[in-house]
């Protein structure tokens, strides 16, 4: 499965992204063309995302946020909620109903820290694009077993174990077991 944010219905996080992207872009004084140039994301994609008509990768959302000098969370959180740190939104779904990534919360770091709760059904995988230099992830497996692939090397983590690594490299989460794997993921930038 890809790292693309997919919409299941208009009330999910993609509708928040559409509203937040346009609001933040306008507040930043950027046209769609200027944002495209600053982020490296095509103007056509920006138009489609703002219109709620396109899926977008999580790394592309990071690039848009950086170009507008805001955090990833500013683009995905429900704009009607007052709390910035409590997000609790599904931002990725796999091909099976048991596979999803739920961004739980965020807190400031040098740039930002995010806490996620992931679940992967048996046979599911998530392939990530490298993050910028200096970014890290911390995983804690709460149920089942998770195989972490880092730049071609594979390591299996069972319930109760954890990993800390630089996410400025190619990495994947894989469930090779026969039960759902659940884990907490912290992203530090």
pLDDT at 7 over 50: no
Q: Render pLDDT for 50-87 as a digit per residue (tens, 0 to 9).
A: 998 888 888 899 899 999 999 888 898 888 876 666 78
Structural domain boundaries, residue 55: 4-76
**Quick one: 103 and 163 in the same domain?**
yes
Cα separation of 164 and 166, whole Å? 7
Which has more pLDDT, 24 or 16? 24
**Quick one: 99 and 184 in the same domain?**
yes
Instruction: Give burial (CB, 10 Å; 0-12/13-18/19+) of 27.
Output: exposed
Run of H or E including 39:
helix 32-39
Q: Read off the pLDDT band of 11 (50, 70, 90).
A: very low
Domain boundary residue, one of 76, 102, 117: 76
Per-residue confidence (pLDDT) for residue 8, from 0 to 100 = 44
Structural domain count, the chain: 2
Those residues whose C-beta lies under 8 Å from the C-beta of residue 7, and which sit 6 or more positions away, are 13, 14, 15, 52, 55
Show the tokens assigned to 90. 């599904």
Distances (CA, A) of 148 to 6, 78, 79, 184: 23, 30, 33, 13
**Quick one: 99 and 29 in the same domain?**
no
Q: Render pLDDT for 137-175 as a digit per residue (tens, 0 to 9).
A: 999 999 999 999 998 899 999 999 999 899 999 999 999
Those residues whose C-beta lies under 8 Å from the C-beta of residue 39, and which sit 6 or more positions away, are 60, 63, 64, 66, 67
Cα separation of 5 and 82, whole Å? 23
**Quick one: 98 and 167 in the same domain?**
yes
For residue 106, being part of any structural domain is answered with yes
**Quick one: 63 and 142 in the same domain?**
no
pLDDT, averaged across the chain: 88
**Quick one: 62 and 16 in the same domain?**
yes
Domain boundary residue, one of 49, 76, 103: 76
Domain boundary residue, one of 21, 47, 76: 76
Show the tokens assigned to 85. 């740190």
CATH number at residue 9: 1.10.260.40
Per-residue confidence (pLDDT) for residue 137, from 0 to 100 = 93
Which has more pLDDT, 93 or 5? 93
**Quick one: 100 and 169 in the same domain?**
yes
For residue 162, being part of any structural domain is answered with yes
CATH number at residue 184: 2.60.120.10
**Quick one: 99 and 163 in the same domain?**
yes
């Amino acid at each position: 499965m890809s790292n693309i944010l997919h919409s299941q219905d208009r009330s999910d996080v993609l509708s928040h992204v559409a509203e937040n992207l346009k609001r933040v872009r306008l507040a930043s004084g950027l046209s769609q063309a200027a944002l495209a140039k600053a982020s490296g994301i095509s103007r056509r994609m920006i138009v489609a995302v703002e219109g709620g008509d396109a899926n977008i990768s999580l790394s592309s959302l990071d690039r848009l946020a950086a170009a507008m000098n805001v955090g990833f969370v500013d683009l995905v959180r429900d704009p009607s909620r007052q709390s910035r740190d409590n997000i609790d939104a599904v931002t990725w779904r796999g091909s099976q109903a048991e596979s999803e990534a739920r961004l739980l919360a965020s807190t400031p770091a040098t740039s930002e820290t995010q806490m996620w709760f992931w679940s992967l059904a048996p046979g599911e995988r998530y392939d990530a694009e490298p993050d910028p230099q200096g970014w890290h992830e911390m995983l804690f497996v709460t149920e089942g077993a998770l195989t972490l692939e880092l730049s071609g090397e594979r390591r299996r983590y069972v319930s109760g174990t954890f990993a800390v690594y630089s996410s400025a490299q190619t990495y994947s989460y894989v469930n090779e077991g026969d039960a759902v794997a659940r884990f907490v993921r912290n992203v530090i930038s």
